[in-house]
Structure 1
Amino acid sequence: MFEVTQETHIARSPAQVWDVLANFERYEQWSPYVRPKGSPEQGKEIDYSFRMNPANPRFWPVTAIVSEWEPCAKLGFDVRLNWMLTIEERFVLEPAAGGTRLVHSFRCRGLLARLRLSKARRNFKEILNETDRLLTRYLSRPANKPVLSAKPKRKGRR
């Protein structure tokens, strides 16, 4: 087993951060890595698609269980890829001066996690960094403006 954790300060209230995390339909506007679908309820199985590399357009569809659901405080997904690897993604929100302290983590269990692959740990840390950066950016944007907009096509040479 291994775990990677990151803390981020977001200049929004826990309720505002929760509104984004709990709205699975909006994940595509800020998260290039995961697409949860379904009713977010504790213990409920949902459709969950993920990718490790946002440059790859293909998502891997799997099922996940909403392992934690405490409004404005905790959200967790238990993603079973197969008997060799289970990934728990967790968001914990705490009130902090001027906003919210977000503790975002991945805990990996199973045969592959026991190998202690340093590249896997590095990849999950990069995913935490990028996801939290994009979530913070999404929450600081003007209302209804998506973060993951496509770059305009260039015309001619530059």
Structure 2
Amino acid sequence: MRQLISTTDIAAPPEHVWGVLTDFSRYSEWNPMFTGAAGDLVPGGVLALRMPVTEGGRSMTSRTRVLEAEPGRRLSWRWRVVGSAVLQAVHEFDLRPAGGGTTLVQRETMVGALVPLLSPVIATYEKTFVRLSEALKARSEGEAGRGA
């Protein structure tokens, strides 16, 4: 098992952060990990997440299953490669009220036989994972400051 965790304080209320996080049509404007997304944001729904794989703009689309979608509070999804024994990851966003703003806890838990073999890839992925938290903070605070 491998777990990535990023905690970030955002000077915007959870409902606003949720709005930014779930506005899939605007991901390409700010999101370093997912340049696009589409699907049903309900438990059991399927999301198609587009991720860049090269600097030149090539991307891949990953299909995920929504586990939780509680507006203003929590979003999580699961993706698998072949099956849960090979590689499975659960990606979570927890939005916690904190002094008029939000504490974002982003977590990804990876399990399966491939996890130890993918250690160098996961190390690179972790940098983008942290950049996602930072970008969500910047986007949410910027929009909140403009009254968007």
Q: TM-score, normalised by structure 2?
A: 0.84
Aligned residues: 143
Match of 1:40 in 2: 41
Computing the radius of gyration over CA atoms, which structure comes out larger, 1 or 2? 1
1:95 to 87, 94, 97: 97
Matched residues in 2 for 1:128 and 1:58: separation? Answer: 19
Q: Structure 2 unaligned segments of length 5 or more: list them.
A: none
Residue 25 in structure 1 maps to residue 21 in structure 2: no
Is the partner of 2:92 in helix, strand or coil? strand
Tell me the amino acid that sits aligned with residue 140 of structure 1. Answer: E
Is the partner of 2:114 in helix, strand or coil? helix
Match of 2:140 in 1: 139
Residue 68 in structure 1 maps to residue 71 in structure 2: no
Does the aligned pair in 1 maintain the 2:53–2:60 contact within 8 Å?
A: no
Does the aligned pair in 1 maintain the 2:48–2:64 contact within 8 Å?
A: yes
Match of 2:4 in 1: 4
Residues 82 and 30 of structure 1: CA distance in aligned 2, closer, same or farther (over 3 Å): farther
Query: Going by fraction, where is helix more abundant, 1 or 2?
Result: 2
Match of 1:152 in 2: none
Tell me the amino acid that sits aligned with residue 113 of structure 2. Answer: L
CA RMSD of aligned residues (A): 2.2
Identity of aligned residues (%): 26
Q: TM-score, normalised by structure 1?
A: 0.79
Give the superposition deviation at 1:10. 0.2
